[in-house]
């Protein structure tokens, strides 16, 4: 009985103890969750939070899927030196120090780790700005391989926006800036590119730094949509280099060059170069889209279209050029030089860019009160008074005075001065669209830069060519305008453009800047046109702002147009000849011959003709050789410090490689490079090179 009582007493004591502990625990739960709830919640929020993280920004691509802008992920590795147990630390830390010394080439990791452990450092920097592959290498190291909770490894992720082609179309591609306004396509398509926000559980460590609560490497990072542009990297490089050469040669303030596809309005290249604070050249502003100035003589095309559409003048309409000097009301107008010509006609006046001739005819047709209204109505009806609506921000409205609304600033000299490009403002892109429309037979296309927005492989939005006006002028007027533009190159102010490679048509422009100001006169030189003249494929606008020395459009801007047109023609001929050659070779017993060039081009051509190939290289530039029934693609090594071997390359690839190495190029012949004036492998000291093509 005594034994039974003893057992019961023990049981009651144990039960009582459990009850007391349960009451204490329940009381503490009640105290923490109810009474002290807000206090503990605030403390928890101080150290563990759901925080908003942005997705990786989508990429921007060229028309051939080359990356124009992309987000590159980088990782930082830190270590909580308090986490690992002493036994593990003592056994593995020396090995960890040895491995870190070997990887980083730094010999003090033993001392650094020892001090960090002593100081209870919970956020010791191990490595920063490393890629995902290197993170995996660090995760295999002693102690760190035990993970976050046993080894104290902390991985944080950052990203950096990169433009693989540097300054090429940089301002148009734009900038994604956290503390400043975005620009270009980065701004216009910001919502699509930035992607969805997401909540990630983060914890705060020493120093107030927030790190992922869970293993970052196991977390799939979301990303924004990709933007696919109409920009062609090779054409962009051609335009950029030609523009850079001219702006440098004439010590100009700035310059712009635009290449547009006539039939579609797709912008294939858009180069903008301006002076930096240090005097160098960079894409500091989008002059093509945003610079609104008096266009000068390139606007004579618009005035002439209005006169031709009125039916009151024709190409052979007589006009007195008065030797190149004439007074309109209280102002005297001058041609660019005193040519001594008196009686002429519209065609010759246009070809020699006679300000007096075009102004005289415009004054005769539109000089009275009703005529000036008619002139402005033509410009409105043509669509020249509206912005073209390019897909990036910053395009201003053209400024074209109205004789009724703007009668306070409408003068007796307004019609003759507007007729040759003054008392109005337009951007280079807006002027180019006039010339593109004439090249397209009178059909006005909307210039565009983006062809699609894609989410992985799915097309979210397609942008197709858009007609702004099916016919701004009659077919007959468009043909007459084309004849005038061809005459400028054949006999007029741009006869230095004549080329054995391609036919061109266009108009020179030389505009006085700030003509009302005192002091030395400043000028903008320009040229707008298209090629080939008989079957227009591309239109180009070139403006050189405030060149020094020479300043006429025919001598400063027109050569840039010619260089771009000829090199693009080389490019088209090269691709056509390559495909024709491969088709011919495949019909016979022979395989294509060896070659050197851009890997993606060869892959595209081989796929086009259904020719098998083996890709043995990750390099951009390759050599291709026939082997049995396949083509072998292997690496072509190019070093910046040495003159490359471009023999066997097409002219497009050779130009791209050499000009990006800072080597000036002159060309003789058509086809592939067979000889080069500088010996391959010699030191690249920037000397120009001459290429002979077959």
Q: For residue 610, what pLDDT is reported?
A: 65
Tell me which range, 145-149, 558-562, 589-593, 657-661, is most confidently predicted by mean pLDDT: 558-562
What average pLDDT does the segment 254-272 reach? 98
Res. 650 pLDDT band, cuts 50 70 90: confident
Is the per-residue pLDDT at 36 higher than 80?
no
For 339, 551, 581, the CA distances from 349, given in Å and listed in that order, are 11, 21, 47
Q: What pLDDT band is residue 41 in, cutting at 50, 70 and 90?
A: low
Model pLDDT, residue 441: 96
User: What's residue 32's pLDDT?
Assistant: 62
Q: Are 560 and 544 in contact (CB under 8 A)?
A: yes
Average pLDDT over residues 393-422: 95
Cβ atoms of 577 and 601 within 8 Å: the answer is: no
Going from N- to C-terminal start, the domains of the chain cover 2-35, 52-226, 234-569, 590-693
**Residue 218 predicted with pLDDT over 60:** no
The alpha carbon torsion through 221, 227, 231, 232 (nearest 10 deg) reads 50
Query: Does the structure show a pLDDT above 90 at 197?
Result: no
Contacts with 492 (C-beta within 8 Å, 6 or more apart), sequence order: 350, 351, 352, 353, 508
Beta bridge partners of 595: 624
pLDDT score, position 35:
62
CA-based torsion, 633, 639, 644, 649: positive or negative: positive
Query: pLDDT digits over 325-375, tens only?
Result: 999 998 999 998 888 899 999 999 999 999 999 999 999 999 999 999 999
For tokens 């090429």, name the residue.
Answer: 168
- What SS3 state is found at 194? helix
pLDDT band at 34 (very low <50, low <70, confident <90, very high): low
Residue appearing with tokens 């007459």: 480
Per-residue pLDDT, 658: 81
Quick one: pLDDT band at residue 382, thresholds 50, 70, 90? Answer: very high
Confidence of residue 286 (pLDDT cuts 50, 70, 90): very high
Per-residue confidence band for 514, with pLDDT thresholds at 50, 70 and 90: confident
State the CATH architecture for 234-569: 3-Layer(aba) Sandwich (3.40)
What per-residue confidence (pLDDT) applies to 608? 58
Write out the two tokens for 412.
């007796």
pLDDT category of residue 539 using cuts at 50, 70 and 90: very high
Under 8 Å between Cβ of 597 and 622: yes
User: Token digits for 457?
Assistant: 């492989």
- For residue 351, what are the CA distances in angstroms to 511, 570, 583? 17, 28, 44
One of 3.90.1310, 1.10.3470, 3.30.1360, 3.30.70 is the CATH number of 52-226, namely: 3.90.1310
State the helix-helix crossing angle for 651-660 and 558-587, rounded to 10 degrees.
Answer: 130
Cα 330 to Cα 306, 327, 414, distances in angstroms = 25, 7, 12
Give the per-residue pLDDT at 269. Answer: 98
The model carries a pTM of: 0.75
The full DSSP string for 440-478 is TTTPEEPPBSEEEEEETTEEEEE----EEES-SS-HHHH
Q: Which tokens sit at 123?
A: 């956020």
DSSP string, 587-617: HSSPPP--EEEEHHHHHHHHHHTT--EEE--
pLDDT band at 584, cuts 50/70/90? low
Cα gap 541→272, rounded to integer Å: 12
pLDDT tier at 217, thresholds 50, 70, 90 = very low
pLDDT 10s digits, 449-473: 999 999 987 899 999 999 999 999 9
CA atoms of 546 and 543, how far apart (whole Å): 9
DSSP of 331-351: EEEE-SS-----EEEHHHHHH
CB-CB contact of 224 with 255 (8 Å): no
For residue 348, give both structure tokens.
């010759």
Q: Where are any strands of DSSP class E within 486-521?
A: 505-513
Measure the N-to-C terminal CA separation of the chain; round to a whole number of Å. Answer: 120
For CA atoms 404, 407, 409, 413, give the dihedral sign: positive
Residue 450 β-bridge partners: 229
Q: How far apart, in whole angstroms, are the C-alpha atoms of residue 513 and residue 294?
A: 8
Which range, 40-54, 179-193, 494-508, 560-574, has the best average confidence (pLDDT)?
494-508
- Comparing 2 with 125, which gets the higher pLDDT? 125
CA angle, corner 93, sides to 89 and 95, nearest 5? Answer: 140
Residue 436 has pLDDT above 90, yes or no: yes
Between the CA of residue 692 and those of 114, 574, 611, 668, what are the distances in Å?
A: 66, 15, 29, 5
Q: Is 60 exceeded by the pLDDT of residue 51?
A: no
DSSP 661: T
Question: Can you tell me the distance from the alpha carbon of 541 to that of 427, in angstroms, rounded to the nearest whole number?
Answer: 10
**pLDDT over 90 (residue 437):** yes
Asked whether residue 103 carries a pLDDT value surpassing 70, the answer given is yes
> Exposure pattern of 534-555 as b/e (b: 16+ CB <10 Å)?
eebbbbbbbbbbbbeeebbbbb
**Dist. CA 123–CA 154, nearest whole Å:** 8
**Sign for the pseudo-dihedral over CA of 424, 428, 433, 438:** positive
The model's confidence at residue 568, banded by pLDDT at 50, 70 and 90, is very high
Tell me, what DSSP letter sits at residue 496?
G
What is the number of alpha carbons within 13 Å of residue 631 lying toward its C-beta? 27
Pairing of strands 467-469, 267-275: unpaired
pLDDT value of residue 149: 83
Query: What is the mean predicted confidence (pLDDT) over 436-458?
Result: 95
Give CA torsion, residues 328, 334, 335, 341, to 10 deg: 70
Exposed/middle/buried for 673, CB within 10 Å: 0-12, 13-18, 19+?
A: buried
Q: Would you put residue 147 in left (φ > 0), alpha (ψ -120 to 50) or beta? A: left
Within 8 A by CB and 6+ apart from 417, the residues are 328, 331, 333, 359, 423
The pLDDT of residue 131 is 79
Is 585 a residue whose pLDDT tops 60? no
pLDDT over 60 at 100, yes or no: yes
Contact between 544 and 524 (Cβ < 8 Å)? yes
As given in the structure block, the two tokens for residue 553 are 């459009």
- Kindly report the average pLDDT of the chain as a whole number: 86
Confidence of residue 302 (pLDDT cuts 50, 70, 90): very high
């Amino acid at each position: 009985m005594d034994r039974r009582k003893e057992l019961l007493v023990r049981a009651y004591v144990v039960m009582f103890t459990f009850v007391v502990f349960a009451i204490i625990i329940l009381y503490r739960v009640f105290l923490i969750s109810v009474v002290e709830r807000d206090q503990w919640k605030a403390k928890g929020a101080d150290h563990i939070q759901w925080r908003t993280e942005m997705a990786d920004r989508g990429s921007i691509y060229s028309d051939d899927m080359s990356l124009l802008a992309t987000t590159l992920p980088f990782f930082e590795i830190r270590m909580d030196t308090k986490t690992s147990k002493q036994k593990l630390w003592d056994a593995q830390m020396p090995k960890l120090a040895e491995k870190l010394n070997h990887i980083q080439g730094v010999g003090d990791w033993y001392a650094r780790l020892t001090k960090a452990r002593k100081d209870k450092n919970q956020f010791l920097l191990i490595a920063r700005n490393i890629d995902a592959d290197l993170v995996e290498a660090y995760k295999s190291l002693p102690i760190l391989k035990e993970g976050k909770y046993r080894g104290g490894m902390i991985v944080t992720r950052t990203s950096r926006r990169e433009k693989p082609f540097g300054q090429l179309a940089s301002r148009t591609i734009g900038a994604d800036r956290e503390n400043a306004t975005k620009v270009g396509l980065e701004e216009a398509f910001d919502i699509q590119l930035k992607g969805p926000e997401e909540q990630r559980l983060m914890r705060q460590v020493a120093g107030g730094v927030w790190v992922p609560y869970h293993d970052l490497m196991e977390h799939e990072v979301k990303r924004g949509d990709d933007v696919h542009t109409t920009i062609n990297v090779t054409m962009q490089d051609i335009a950029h280099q030609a523009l850079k050469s001219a702006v440098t040669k004439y010590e100009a303030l700035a310059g712009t060059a635009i290449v547009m596809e006539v039939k579609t309005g797709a912008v294939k290249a858009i180069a903008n170069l301006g002076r930096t604070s240090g005097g160098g050249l960079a894409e500091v502003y989008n002059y093509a889209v945003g610079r609104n100035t008096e266009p000068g003589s390139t606007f004579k095309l618009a005035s002439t279209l209005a006169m031709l559409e009125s039916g009151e003048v024709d190409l052979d309409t007589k006009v007195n050029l008065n030797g190149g000097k004439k007074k309109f009301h209280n102002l005297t107008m001058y041609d660019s030089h005193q040519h001594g010509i008196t009686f002429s006609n519209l065609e010759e006046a246009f070809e020699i860019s006679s300000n007096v001739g075009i102004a005289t005819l415009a004054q005769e047709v539109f000089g009275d009160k009703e005529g000036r209204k008619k002139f402005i109505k033509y410009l409105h009806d043509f669509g020249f008074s509206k912005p073209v609506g390019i897909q990036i921000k910053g395009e201003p409205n053209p400024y074209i005075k109205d004789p009724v609304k703007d009668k306070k600033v409408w003068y007796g000299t307004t019609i003759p001065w507007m007729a040759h490009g003054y008392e109005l403002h337009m951007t280079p892109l807006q002027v180019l669209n006039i010339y593109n429309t004439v090249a397209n037979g009178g059909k006005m296309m909307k210039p565009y830069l983006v062809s699609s927005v894609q989410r992985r492989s799915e097309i979210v939005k397609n942008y197709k060519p858009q007609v702004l006006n099916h016919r701004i002028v009659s077919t007959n007027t468009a043909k007459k305008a084309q004849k005038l533009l061809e005459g400028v190159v054949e006999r007029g102010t741009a006869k230095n453009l004549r080329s054995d490679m391609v036919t061109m048509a266009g108009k020179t422009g030389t505009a006085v800047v700030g003509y009302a100001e005192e002091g030395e006169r400043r000028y903008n030189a320009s040229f707008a046109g298209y090629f080939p003249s008989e079957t227009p494929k591309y239109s180009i606008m070139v403006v050189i702002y405030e060149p020094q020395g020479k300043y006429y459009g025919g001598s400063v801007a027109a050569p840039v147009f010619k260089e771009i047109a000829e090199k693009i023609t080389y490019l088209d001929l090269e691709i056509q000849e390559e495909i024709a050659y491969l088709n011919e070779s495949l019909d016979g017993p022979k395989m294509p011959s060896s070659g050197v060039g851009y890997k993606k081009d060869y892959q595209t051509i081989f796929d086009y003709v259904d020719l098998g190939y083996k890709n043995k290289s990750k390099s951009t530039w390759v050599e291709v050789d026939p082997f049995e029934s396949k083509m072998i693609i292997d690496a072509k090594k190019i070093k910046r410090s040495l003159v490359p071997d471009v023999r066997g390359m097409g002219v497009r690839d050779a130009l791209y490689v050499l000009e990006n190495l800072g080597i000036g190029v002159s060309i003789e012949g058509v086809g592939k490079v067979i000889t080069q004036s500088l010996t391959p492998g010699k030191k690249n000291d920037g000397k120009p090179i001459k290429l002979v093509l077959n």
